[in-house]
Amino acid sequence: MHTVGTFAPTSAAEAREQYTDVGPAAQTVVREVAKAMEFDREEYDDRVSGEVVETARDALFASLLEVHVGTREEFAAWRDGYDGTVSVVGHENVDNVVWHAGPEDEAVAATFQNEEEAAIATLRRQAFGRLYRELIQ
């Protein structure tokens, strides 16, 4: 088993703080991407809204979430010791699982066979939508 990512909030307040902390980075990413796309000032003002920056912030926060990657057996051992609710998506007859435990005694997991990076990315989006979206607003 191994772990990737850096954000593992233990409370709703910590999740909100980490979400707030990535705000300036999200703004910078959006500005630099617009610059690379050769937006002039007018086009930037027309196309880059608060919603665009918020979407970048959501994606950046999600991409930094800590995710555990392991075999079904490693996941089962973790789950046996976890007191919260776990939502699992995917097929039951594959060998590997990725999972993330949120701050409110709820976790998400996804099974995968070979595509670890894709599974991690998918799980992070699910974790953001299911565990964090309402907490950070």
List, for residues 22-32, the tens digit of each pLDDT value.
999 999 999 99
Residue 40 structural domain: 23-62
Same domain, yes or no: 32 and 91:
no
**82 φ, ψ (degrees, to nearest 5):** -95, 130
Same domain, yes or no: 122 and 83:
yes
Helix (H) or strand (E) holding 90: none
Q: Is residue 18 part of a domain?
A: no
Question: Rounded distance, CA 111 to CA 72, Å?
Answer: 8
Please tell me the pTM assigned to this model.
0.90
Does pLDDT of 17 surpass 90? yes
Same domain, yes or no: 71 and 106:
yes
Same domain, yes or no: 75 and 56:
no
Same domain, yes or no: 76 and 124:
yes
Q: Which residues pair with 97 in a beta bridge?
A: 70, 111
Q: Is residue 127 part of a domain?
A: yes
List, for residues 66-125, the tens digit of each pLDDT value.
999 999 999 999 999 999 999 999 998 999 999 999 998 999 999 999 999 999 999 999
Same domain, yes or no: 69 and 125:
yes
Question: Rounded distance, CA 69 to CA 120, Å?
Answer: 8
Q: What is the DSSP letter of 7?
A: B
